[in-house]
Each structure stands twice: as C-alpha cells, then as structure tokens.
Amino acid sequence: MLERLWNGWRSAYVQGGVEESLHTGEGSVFTRILASGLDDIETNIVHRGTTCFAILNAFPYSTGHVLVLPYREVAELEDLSADEVAELWSTVTDAVVAIKRAYTPEGINIGVNLGKPAGGSISEHLHAHVVPRWTGDSNFMTAIANTRTLPEALVDTASRLRAAWPPPRS
C-alpha cells in the first residue's frame, strides 16, 4: 500500500516556483542557482561572503540543514585558494552559531563528502554540510519508510537563520 505524507509547502516547487534554469544548463545546481538571477529569498541563500556562501539544503536531513560552499565550482579541497579555505571554515563556524541561536540543537554534524563514492551527490562543487541534531531525530520514518518529516518550510528556516546569522568579525 502506498503511504502519503502531506507536504503542502512543497507545492511551490511542483507548480513551478523554482525556475527551470535551475534544472538545466551548465555547471552544478549551485552554479546554476548563482547564475539564475533569482534573489536570496527565492533560492534560500542565507548568507553571502566574499568567496563563499551558505544555502539551505533543498532536501535536508533535518530542519536547519545548511550547505556552505565557495562561489567558484571546485571539486577538491586542495584546489581552493587560501582565501576560500579561510572563508569556508569561517562561514561553517558562523552557520553553527546561527543554527544554535535559531534552533538550540543538542548537537551538530559537520561534514564534507569528496567524490561520489564518499556520498557526494553534487561532487563537482565542494560543499560542507552543517546539520543540527537532536536526540531521537533518526526514527522509523527514515529507516523503514524512507521518508523524512520536517516541521518547517524551507522559506521559514531560511528566514530564521538569516535573523540569527552573526555579524561580520572585525
């Protein structure tokens, strides 16, 4: 029997709320988002720096799942410039601060998957995952039903994280 879990907030995606240019074209989905001309609200970009930015994962493991990546499409850590390395880690740190302020998680996972065998679904554009965690957040829905339940729409998550993002360091 087919089970359905109502996710009404995803209707914007189904009805074409996401521009077609994000699904076709040159480069990774992140490169296409940056080149799309869409604003940060529509693309769920929560922070922009000089060489790196932070965006919500469109298919999050949990509410508040942020991806931090360089603007430049680079697959390997060793191919990043010194400025990109410094800002990438600084932005990951700021994402942790924002997630803690906005969601008060019990823990946070940070990870980078390099290459498809390592789990990199968009391996051509290096990105760091910053994932808030709570005791018991892995449950039967993911393990048995291959379904995740998320209590908040991405647009609301992005708004909360933008409001909680720390100011630039001096």
pLDDT in tens, 78-101: 999 999 999 999 999 999 999 999
Q: CATH number of the domain that 127 lies in?
A: 3.30.428.10
Rg of the chain over all Cα atoms, to the nearest angstrom: 16
Percent of the chain with pLDDT over 90: 62
Query: pLDDT tens digit string along 114-128?
Result: 888 887 789 999 999
Asked if residue 18 belongs to a domain, the reply is no
Query: Residue 124 is part of which domain span?
Result: 44-164
The pTM assigned to this predicted structure is: 0.81
What is the mean predicted confidence (pLDDT) over 4-27? 52
Tally of structural domains, the chain: 1
Asked if residue 145 belongs to a domain, the reply is yes
Residue 116: exposure state from Cβ atoms within 10 A (0-12, 13-18, ≥19): exposed
Cα separation, 44 vs 6, in Å, equals 22
Q: Which of 47, 65, 127, 129 is catalytic?
A: 127
Q: What is the pLDDT of residue 14?
A: 43
Asked if residue 4 belongs to a domain, the reply is no
Edge-to-edge strand ranges of the sheet holding 107-112: 45-48, 52-56, 66-70, 128-133, 107-112
Asked if residue 154 belongs to a domain, the reply is yes
Cβ(109)–Cβ(129) under 8 Å? yes
Is residue 65 flagged as an active site residue? no
Asked if residue 35 belongs to a domain, the reply is no
Closest CA to 154 of 20, 18, 2: 18
Asked if residue 28 belongs to a domain, the reply is no
Asked if residue 12 belongs to a domain, the reply is no
